[in-house]
Structure 1
Amino acid sequence: MRVPELSRVGGLVLSHSFSLFRSNPRNFSHHQFSLTPPRSVTTILIKGFRTMSRLEGGPEWTAPYVRETFLDYFQKKGHTFVPSSSVVPLSDPTLLFTNAGMNQYKSIFLGTVDPQSDFAQLKRAVNSQKCIRAGGKHNDLDDVGKDSYHHTFFEMLGNWSFGDYFKEEAIKYSWELLTTVYGLEPERLYVTYFEGDVAGGLEPDLEAKDLWRAVGVPEDHILPGNMKDNFWEMGDQGPCGPCSEVHYDRIGGRNASYLVNQDDPNVIEIWNNVFIQYNREPDRSLRPLPNKHVDTGMGFERLVSILQNKSSNYDTDVFTPLFQKIQEITGACEYRGRFGADDSDGIDTAYRVIADHVRTLTFAISDARFARKYFEVEIGSFFSKLVPALVDQMGDMFPEIKKKQQDVIEILNEEEISFAKTLDRGERQFEHYAQQAKLKSLNKLHGADVWRLYDTFGFPVDLTRIMAEERQLSIDDAEFEEARLKAKEASKGQKKAAVDTVKLDVHDLGKLEKMNDVRKTDDAAKFEKGNITAQIKAIYHGKLFHTSTADIPEGEQLGIILDRTNFYAEQGGQENDTGRIIIDGQAELEVGDVQLYAGYVLHTGFMKYGSFSLDDTVICEYDELRRWPIRNNHTGTHILNFALREVLGDGVEQKGSLVAPEKLRFDFSSKAGLSEQELAEVEAKSVEYIRQNCAVYSREVPLATAREIMGVRAVFGETYPDPVRVVSVGVELDEIMKDVHNPRWKEVSLEFCGGTHVQKTGDIKELVILEESGIAKGIRRIIAVTGEEAIEVQRVAKEFGERLNRLDALKLGPEKEQEAKQIQTELNQLTISAIEKAKLRQHFTKINKEVIDGQKAQQKLESKKALDTIVSYFSNSENEGKSSLVVQLPISANSKAVSEALNHVKSKMQDKSVYIFAADPAQGRVAHGCHVSQTLVEQGASASEWAGVVSSMIGGKAGGKGSTSIGNGINPDKVDDAIAQATDYLNRFKL
C-alpha cells in the first residue's frame, strides 16, 4: 500500500468522526501533521500490523467457536485452510485495502496464477479474511456507529471452489451449515437468485432457484434480484457471474420477504454465494469461462450476533470487551446500545466508533475527538490503553499483532497528541469561515474556503459539508472545483518557474547585516518535532527586499527569512526540509527549498494564496512525511560509519555523504574495494546496532573538549562551530563528558553532526547496502537504504530468489531457456541488497551454465540427427541413384543444425539437391534451407529461387550465396504445403 493513498482514506475516517464533534473553539496549538495519518501510523499497517479477531468467554456460541465451527465444517468437506492475507494488498495496485475474501485469489480467477505456486494446485479453500472498507468503491465508513451492523474492519468467512464443485454443492453446504450446524430457524432465512437481464442478454438463474427449492427453502422465501444485487463482477473486465444471497430475519414469526435488501436492520444479508461462470470481455460482451468457480463470503460479526441472539453486532463478545475497557479508561456510563435519536448524548455512538476504529488500527488516531468530546479524557494515551484488550481478543487468530503491540502503543501515544493539535487548528479555521458566512448573511461557505480547509488541513469535502450542514450552511461545489483547478494550474506554473531557485549573494547579505530588525535565524527548533510560530523579518524577490509579498508578481518564486524556524536548511550532506508557512485562512507559502546563508535561513517557494507582510506571525509546518525517512537515513549513516571502522579499521575516514528521503550515500577512504565478506560484516554490524534499539543523544560541547573525546568521528578538513553538536548512539553525553579519554567510547558511534536523527535506533528498523563502488583513487562509495525502503528491497530480493528456485526446478527446454534470458536481464537491473544480489548472481550462473550446457548438448544431438537423416536417405539401397531430397527433419527449428547439414552436403555430396525443413510449432518458427547441385544449376535452377518459392508459403525470408540458401519462416503449420511446393519446383527439371 502506498502512503499517500492511505492518508486520503485517513481523511475520510476523520470526516466521519468529526461530524459529531461540536466542542467550543479553543486556543489553537501547532503541529506538523495535516489531518491525514502521519507516516508513523501508516507504518503500522505497512509493517504488518494487520487488524484482528479472537475473543474469549461468552455464551455457547462464542465468537471464536463460531469461527472455528465454520472453518472445521469446510475442512471436513475437503477445503484447504488458507491464512488471511494482509489488509494491505501489496501486489494489487487496484485495491487500497483488502475489502473482500476473494481478493487474494484474484490470480486464480483471472488465470494469471503462477503455475509453480501452491495456489495453482488449490481446488477448495476456506478462511477468515481480514477486511477493511474505508474509502474506495466499498466504503462503510459513513454507516459506522449509526447502525448495528456496519464496520470499517470486519472478518469475512468464506469458502471457495476453483474449477471443482459449483452451484449444487455450494448451496447444499450453505443450507446445511446454517440450519443443521449453526441451528438457525429455516423460516427466518431468505435467499435470492439472479432474475436475469434482458438488456444484457442474460437469462434468469433458475438453476440456483431450483437448487434452493430442493434443499427445502419455501417458494415465498426464494426471491429474484437484479444486476445490482445479484450479479457480481470483479471490474469492467474479467470473471463474473450471478450470485445468490442469504438473508436473516432477526424478528421471525412473519413473512419478511418485502424487507430483503431494503437496509432494514432486522433483515440483514449474512452470506453471498457467487457463481463465477462468465468473463466480461473488453467489448462488454460475456463469454463462458472454461472453468467455473465458487466464491462465497459470510459476515462473521453479523453471524455471531445472530447466534448469540443479539439485535446488534456491538452487543456481542466481538465488541463488549472493548467497551468495557473504554469505560474503565474513561469512567463514562456503560454502553447502552442506543441509536439515532435515542442516543441523545452521542455516547453510545462514540463507543461504537471508537471500538470499530481501534480495530482498524491505522485510522484509530483519527478518532481522538470522540474521546475528548464525549468521554472528557485528555488526549495522549487513550487509544494505546485499548491496544492490550484488542490483542487479548484477537491475537490468537492473528498472532502478528502480538509482535507489534509495544510499537503500536508508543506510536499511538505520540500521534494522538500530535493529531489533537492539528484538529484544534482546523476546527478554529472552520469556525472562522462559518462565522464570516453568517455575518454576511450567506447560507453557504465559499468554495475557496472549503478548498483551503482541504489543502491546508486535509479536511475532505464530505467532512466540511457535514460540519456546514450542522450550522445550516451549504457548500458551492462549483466554487470549490474552480479553486481546486486554479491551485492546480498555479502549481504547474510554479514548477515551470522553479528552474532558478532564489538565492542570496554577498550584497544581499550585506544589506541584511545593516537591517536592525533582522538577526541571524534561530533554528534550534529543527531538532524537535512539531510546528512553531515565528515572525517574518525579511521578504526577498528580484534582488530586492520587500515589505509585503503583495508587491511580488503572482506565480513568481520568493524567499522568506524568519526570526526562528523549525525547517532544516540543507547542510552537512542532509537534504533540506519542505513544507509550508501559514497564516491560517489568510495566506500560505509552499516551501520547496531551505538554505542557510551566513546564519540566515532562507525559505523559498511560491504563494498559494493571500499575502504576507513584515512582522506577521506565521505557523511553520515542515513536511514530516519527508523528514521521517531522512532521520532514519541520517542515523543510519552514523551507524554505517561506525560499522565500517569496526570492519576495516581506524584508517577509514569520511569523505562525503548525502542524506535523502529515499537513500543514504556515504563516501570513505579505502585503498581497495570491500570483499563480499567485508560488506556482509558491515551490514550485519549495522543491523545489530539498530536492533539494540539504542537511544540517540545530542549535546553542544566546546569544540576543544569535543575533539578530545576518544573515538569521536569528524570529517577531516571540515570547519566546525564552537561549541559543536555531538551525537552519540547508545551512551548519554553526560556520562561521556565525565571521562572523554575513556577507550570504551571507541565502541560507540560518536560524531560531530548538525543533522536530525531518530530518538532510538529501533525506529530505523533495517539497513540494507545496495551498492559499493569506487568513485576516485582511494575513495569508495556505499549506497544504502533504511526503514520501509529497506524492507521493500528485502521483499523484492526474496521474491526474486523464489523465482530463481522455480527456474532451477524447471526441466531443460525452450521454457527454461526463455525464462533464463528474462531473469538475466531483470537481475542486472535489480535494486536490492548488494550481498543478496551477489548470491543471486552465483545461483543464476550455476543455473545458466546448466542451460548453456544443455543447449550445446541439444545442438550437437540435433545436428547429428539432421545429418543422419540426409546421409541415411542417400545410403539406403532403396534410394540408390536418387539425386534429390525434400524432407522435414526430426528436430526443432534449429538454424545451426540446418546450416551444418547443408554445409556437409555442399562439401561431401555436391551432386545432390536437398531441401530440408525444421519446424517448431510451439515457438512459431521454421528453419529451412537448400543446396542445388551443379547439374540442376545447368538446367536453370537456383538456390535463391527455390528458397523464394518456399518462403512465399511459410513466410519470413531466405538468402545465401551460390548453391545454398537458408531462411527462417513463421508459419510452421504450412510446412507440408511448403514441402509440396519445393517438390513441384524440382519436378520442373530433369533429374
Structure 2
Amino acid sequence: MTNKKLSSQAIRQSFLDYFHSQNHEIVASSSLIPTNDPTLLFTNAGMVQFKDVFLGIEKKPYSSAASAQRCIRAGGKHNDLERVGYTARHHTFFEMLGNFSFGAYFKREAIRFAWDFLTQHLHINPEKLWVTVYEKDQEAEDIWLKEMKIDPSRFSRCGDEENFWSMGPTGPCGPCTEIFYDHGSSIPGDPPGSGTALADGDRYIEIWNLVFMQYDRANDGTLTPLPKPAVDTGMGLERITAVMQGVQNNYDTDLFQPLIQAIARIADIDDFSHFSLRVIADHIRAACFLIADNIIPSNEGRGYVLRRIIRRALRHGNQLGLTEPFFYQLVAPLSECMGSAYPCLIKQQTHIADTLRREEMLFAETLQQGLKLFEQATQNLKGNVIPGETIFKLYDTYGFPADLTADIARERHLVMDTEGFLQAMSKQRERSRKTSHFTTDYLRQTESQQPTQFTGYETTKDTCQILAIYQDGQAIKMLEANNDASIVLDRTPFYAESGGQVGDQGTLKIDDHTLFEVLDTTKQGQCHIHRGRLQKGVLHVGETVLAQVDDNRRQTAVLNHTATHLLHHILRQVLGKHVIQKGSLVAPDRLRFDFSHGAPVTKEELHQIEQRVNAEIRANHHATIDITSPEDATKKGAMALFGEKYGNEVRVVHFGSSVELCGGTHADATGDIGLFQIINESGVAQGIRRIEAVTGNAALQYLDNQTHHFQQTIAQKDERIHQLEKNIEQLQEKMILVESQSLMLNAKKIGNIAVLATIVPSLDSKGLRLLVDDLKQKLKTAIVVLATIKDNKAYVVSGVTNDLVGHFDAKDILNHVMQAIDGKSGGRCDLAQGGGNRPEALAGALETLYVTIDKMSKM
C-alpha cells in the first residue's frame, strides 16, 4: 500500500470536506493578529480563535469545528525564525489543519476521525504510522490498541514533557496522543518515546497531535476533571503534504517548489538545493500574509518582526548575488500558488508588492554597507567571539540589525558577545536621555521657520531654496552623500501628508552631481519637511535645488483622493446622512475610507455604491475650486474631511454635486479616474465601517486577477463534476453487479432457456444495457428484457445470447413490448433498446413476454 500523491490544495480541501461530512462547522482561518489574546504576538495555532470557547467565556452556535488556520511562529515565545533554512520542517509561516470539539465528542471519536482520515481517505499505510500516548492515559491506550487495533509494536508511551499539554501554569490542560509518520530505515532516527539519542531523528515525523483537555490545574498543581472535556487537534499542512508527495523535506513540496524555482530564475542559478533559496521561499510566505493582514514594516511590535523577516530574506538574496530589489517579484508566484485558497493575496497583490519594494529600497544601502563593514570587523578577529562593541557599532552607527549580525555569525560558526552588546545599548540609552532636549530644539526650530509656500497645486516641478537641513534632530549646514536628513525649503511642489493623503516622493537635484531622494513629505507646523537620503554630492543650506515630484505616484494618489470625495458623497446618498468620515488613507495603490454606520454594508448596497461612483466618473465632472471662509463653505453645504485643519481660508472642491473642504490634490475631472472598484468592506470599531477600493489601472489589474481566479475556480469545479460523473459510473457498475446477482434468482426456465423480463427502477438506459450484457454472460443461454421508468417515460432493453441468435431476435422480442407501451425501438438481433409513452402498461407487457417467448421456442 503506497501513499496516493496529492497536491497541498487537495489535501487541505480533503481535510475540510472530511470533517464537514462528520458534522463539523468549517470555520475560516482567523487573522494572524489575535483578537482575543493580548499575550500573543501572532496566531500560532488553530485553537487560538477558539480559546474563549475552550475557557467557557464565549459560546458558539456549533459544538464541533474544523479549520485550516494561517499561523506565524516568529517573535515572542514561539519563534522559529532562527531555525528556518537549517531544518527540513521549521517555518515562520505555516498552515495548521485542526478539528475541535467543545463537548460534542472526546477521545474515542477524535482518535477514530484521525485514523480514518489518514488511512482511509489519504490511504496512508498503517504500517508507516507510529502512535504515542501519555503514559498515564490508559483510556487513550485502550482505544488505540483494543478498539482501533493498531499494531502494538508501533506504539509507545511518553511522559509529561512530550504528551501532556496546558495553556499555562494553571487552567485547562490534559494528555495528548500523537501520530508520527515513519520515513523508513534509510533515514536515521529511533521511535518516539524510545529515550535514545536518535529519538529526535528525522525518521519518525510527528504529523498530528490530538490534545484532550479534561482537567483544570490549580495553583498547587491539583488536577480537577473539567465538567465538559474538549478536543484540540493540529496537523501541519506542510508536513502532511511532504508525506503525501513522498519527500522528506517540506521545501520539496508544491507549497515551496514554485517559489524556489522562481527565486532561482531571478538569481539565474541551477542549484535548487541552495540554503538561501529555502530561507527566501519561507520568508516571502510570512511577509505577504502579514502585510495582507495590515501589518506594515516598522521598528516595534509586529511591524518589527515583519521587518526582520524581510531583511533576513534580503540578506540571503545577497548571498545569491541579488543586489537589486527582487523580493517583491515573488508576490505574484505566491499568489498563483495560494491565491485560490486565500483570495486576500490576489486582492492585495499590488499593495503587498509595493510595500515589499519600498522596504527593499530603504534597506538596500544599509545591507551593502553593513555586509562590507561586517567583513572588515571580523577579518582580523582573534578567536571566534564578535565583541559587543563591534555589534553595537554596526547597529547604531550603520543601522545594521543585530539579528542579521547573529544570522551571519551562526553561518560562520562565530559567537556573539551578547552581554557586551546589551551593555553598549544601555550606555547609548543613557546618552540619549541626557541629550533628548535636541529633539525638542528640532521641533522648535522647524516651527520657527517661515511657512513653506506650497506650489504643488499648479506644478510638480519647481526651483526652491534650502532653508534648513536637520540630521538626528540637529540643524546642520552641510549634508554629505549616503546620509539621511530632513530638509526645509522656502517653497515646494511636494504635498505633505495630510487629510489621509500620503506625502509625495521624488528628488531634489543640483545639476547631475547632487541628488537627494525624498522618501516622504510631512508637515511640522507650517513647514513642509522633506525626509530622505542624499544619494550623491553635497548639499548646503542656502543652495537652490530643482524639486521634482514623482509624477506617476502623485497622479495615482490624485485619482484615489478624487475617488474618496465621490465615495463619501455616494455613501451619504445610499446609506443616509448619518454617514460621516472617520478616517482615510489615500495612497498611490489604493484608498481606504472609514465612516460612521451602525451595520455591515450589504452586498446590494456595495454594488449600488460602486455603480453610482462609476456613474459619477463617466459623467466626467470637471473640478471647480473655490477659496472662501470655513463659515461660508459650511453654509454652502461643503463637507469637512477627517484630519484636515482649516485656517481663515479654505479650499472648497466641487465635483458635480459633491462639495467638500479639502487641501489635497485632485484630478482635473472625474473621468480621469477611469474605474472605481471596491475590494473590501469591514468593521473597524463599534459603529464604524471601512471600505477599501482601487482605481484606474489598479482596478483593472484587480478585475484581471479576479477573472483569473474565477476561471481557475470554474476549471476546478468542472474537474470535480467530471470526477463525480466518473464516480457515478463506477457506482452504477457496482450496483449492476449487486443487481445481477439478485435478478438471476428471478429468471424463469423455458425449456433450457433462462428468461428474465422485469423492471429495474434504479438504473438509466445506459445502466440497463450494461446489466443486460452482464446477465447474458452469467445466465449463459438466456433472453433478458429489462426496463425502467424515468420522467414518465418507459425505457426497455432486450438481449439474446449468441447461441440463441437465429431462432430469437432481440428486436422482435422488444417490439411486443413497444406495441403495448406505444413506443419505438431499434438495435441488433442480440441487443435492442426502445422507449414508450405509456409506462403504466409496462409491467403487463413484460409479464406477457414469458408466454410469447414460450410460444416462439416451440415454433
TM-score of Structure 1 vs Structure 2, range by shorter chain: 0.5 to 0.7
Query: Which shows bigger deviation, 318-327 or 563-572?
Result: 563-572
- What is the distance in 2 between the residues matched to 1:360 and 1:368? 17
- What is the distance in 2 between the residues matched to 1:111 and 1:378? 52
- What is the distance in 2 between the residues matched to 1:227 and 1:237? 15
- 1:309 and 2:309 correspond: no
Q: What is the identity, as a one-letter code, of the residue corresponding to 2:360?
A: A
Inter-CA distance 457–750: structure 2 relative to 1 (3 Å threshold): farther
- 1:481 and 2:422 correspond: yes
User: Alpha-carbon deviation of 1:269?
Assistant: 0.4
TM-score normalized with structure 1 length: 0.47
How big is each residue's C-alpha offset from its partner over 1:503-540, in whole Å with a ceiling of 9 and x where there is no partner? Answer: 4799x87xx9xxxxxxx9999899999xxxx9986579
Match of residue 230 from structure 1: 163
- What is the distance in 1 between the residues matched to 2:342 and 2:500? 41
Structure 1: gaps spanning 5 or more residues: 1-57, 196-203, 513-519, 550-557, 579-590, 605-611, 621-626, 648-656, 667-681, 698-708, 719-742, 767-786, 798-830, 834-991
Match of residue 626 from structure 2: 714
- What is the distance in 1 between the residues matched to 2:150 and 2:336? 42
Picking from 125, 133, 143, the partner of 1:185 is: 125
* Local SS of the residue matching 1:715: strand
- What is the distance in 2 between the residues matched to 1:205 and 1:497? 62
Any conservation in 2 of the 1:450–1:461 contact (CA below 8 Å)?
A: yes
Match of residue 343 from structure 2: 400
Any conservation in 2 of the 1:159–1:295 contact (CA below 8 Å)?
A: yes
Inter-CA distance 460–209: structure 2 relative to 1 (3 Å threshold): farther
How big is each residue's C-alpha offset from its partner over 1:872-915, in whole Å with a ceiling of 9 and x where there is no partner? Answer: xxxxxxxxxxxxxxxxxxxxxxxxxxxxxxxxxxxxxxxxxxxx
User: Alpha-carbon deviation of 1:184?
Assistant: 3.1
* Local SS of the residue matching 1:379: coil
* Local SS of the residue matching 2:44: coil
Any conservation in 2 of the 1:247–1:270 contact (CA below 8 Å)?
A: yes
User: Alpha-carbon deviation of 1:250?
Assistant: 0.4
Q: What is the identity, as a one-letter code, of the residue corresponding to 1:256?
A: P
* Local SS of the residue matching 1:301: helix
Picking from 134, 137, 142, the partner of 1:210 is: 142
Inter-CA distance 226–348: structure 2 relative to 1 (3 Å threshold): same
Q: What is the identity, as a one-letter code, of the residue corresponding to 2:137?
A: D
- 1:175 and 2:122 correspond: no
Picking from 102, 105, 111, the partner of 1:162 is: 102
Match of residue 349 from structure 1: 278
Query: Which shows bigger deviation, 145-154 or 269-278?
Result: 145-154
TM-score normalized with structure 2 length: 0.53
Inter-CA distance 355–642: structure 2 relative to 1 (3 Å threshold): closer
Any conservation in 1 of the 2:36–2:52 contact (CA below 8 Å)?
A: no
* Local SS of the residue matching 1:713: strand
Match of residue 735 from structure 2: none
How big is each residue's C-alpha offset from its partner over 1:247-300, in whole Å with a ceiling of 9 and x where there is no partner? Answer: 121015996344799442221101111010112345654332111111111222
Inter-CA distance 251–764: structure 2 relative to 1 (3 Å threshold): same
Inter-CA distance 265–471: structure 2 relative to 1 (3 Å threshold): closer
Inter-CA distance 152–765: structure 2 relative to 1 (3 Å threshold): farther
User: Alpha-carbon deviation of 1:415?
Assistant: 3.4
Match of residue 374 from structure 1: 320
User: Alpha-carbon deviation of 1:564?
Assistant: 9.7
Match of residue 973 from structure 1: none
Any conservation in 1 of the 2:174–2:212 contact (CA below 8 Å)?
A: yes
- What is the distance in 2 between the residues matched to 1:358 and 1:716? 47
* Local SS of the residue matching 1:502: helix
User: RMSD in angstroms over aligned alpha carbons?
Assistant: 6.2
Match of residue 280 from structure 1: 217
* Local SS of the residue matching 2:365: helix
Inter-CA distance 487–791: structure 2 relative to 1 (3 Å threshold): farther
How big is each residue's C-alpha offset from its partner over 1:67-113, in whole Å with a ceiling of 9 and x where there is no partner? Answer: 44434444444433333333343344333333212122212211011
Any conservation in 1 of the 2:190–2:199 contact (CA below 8 Å)?
A: no
Match of residue 150 from structure 1: 90
- 1:464 and 2:405 correspond: yes
Inter-CA distance 613–241: structure 2 relative to 1 (3 Å threshold): farther
- What is the distance in 1 between the residues matched to 2:25 and 2:583? 50
User: Alpha-carbon deviation of 1:192?
Assistant: 2.0
Match of residue 25 from structure 2: 80
- 1:137 and 2:69 correspond: no
User: Alpha-carbon deviation of 1:465?
Assistant: 1.4
How big is each residue's C-alpha offset from its partner over 1:145-197, in whole Å with a ceiling of 9 and x where there is no partner? Answer: 333323333332222222232223323333344344444333432222224xx
Any conservation in 2 of the 1:240–1:276 contact (CA below 8 Å)?
A: yes
Alignment of 1:332-731 (within 5 A): 332-333=269-270, 335=272, 338=273, 343=274, 346=275, 349=278, 352-353=281-282, 356-357=285-286, 360=289, 362=291, 367-368=313-314, 370=316, 373-374=319-320, 379=325, 382-391=329-338, 395=340, 398=341, 400-401=343-344, 405=346, 407-408=348-349, 410-431=350-371, 433-434=373-374, 437-438=377-378, 447=388, 450=391, 460-469=401-410, 474-485=415-426, 490=432, 494=436, 498=440, 501-503=443-445, 538=468, 594-595=523-524, 639=566, 711-716=623-628
* Local SS of the residue matching 2:179: strand
User: Alpha-carbon deviation of 1:382?
Assistant: 1.9
Inter-CA distance 405–455: structure 2 relative to 1 (3 Å threshold): farther
Q: Percent identity?
A: 33
Q: What is the identity, as a one-letter code, of the residue corresponding to 2:65?
A: A
Any conservation in 1 of the 2:457–2:665 contact (CA below 8 Å)?
A: no
Q: What is the identity, as a one-letter code, of the residue corresponding to 1:268?
A: I
How big is each residue's C-alpha offset from its partner over 1:723-750, in whole Å with a ceiling of 9 and x where there is no partner? Answer: xxxxxxxxxxxxxxxxxxxx99757989
Match of residue 290 from structure 1: 227
Q: What is the identity, as a one-letter code, of the residue corresponding to 2:79?
A: N
Inter-CA distance 290–173: structure 2 relative to 1 (3 Å threshold): same
Any conservation in 1 of the 2:182–2:203 contact (CA below 8 Å)?
A: yes
Inter-CA distance 711–358: structure 2 relative to 1 (3 Å threshold): closer
How big is each residue's C-alpha offset from its partner over 1:584-609, in whole Å with a ceiling of 9 and x where there is no partner? Answer: xxxxxxx9985477xx76799xxxxx
Q: Which has the higher contact order (CA 8 A, sep 6+)?
A: 1
Any conservation in 1 of the 2:84–2:279 contact (CA below 8 Å)?
A: no
User: Alpha-carbon deviation of 1:230?
Assistant: 1.4
Alignment of 1:925-940 (within 5 A): none
Picking from 52, 56, 66, the partner of 2:11 is: 66
Alignment of 1:886-901 (within 5 A): none
Q: What is the identity, as a one-letter code, of the residue corresponding to 2:53?
A: I
Query: Which shows bigger deviation, 155-164 or 459-468?
Result: 459-468
- What is the distance in 2 between the residues matched to 1:488 and 1:406? 43
Any conservation in 1 of the 2:460–2:494 contact (CA below 8 Å)?
A: no
User: Alpha-carbon deviation of 1:634?
Assistant: 6.6
- What is the distance in 2 between the residues matched to 1:213 and 1:146? 37
Structure 2: gaps spanning 5 or more residues: 292-305, 480-484, 506-519, 532-538, 548-553, 575-581, 595-604, 631-652, 691-859
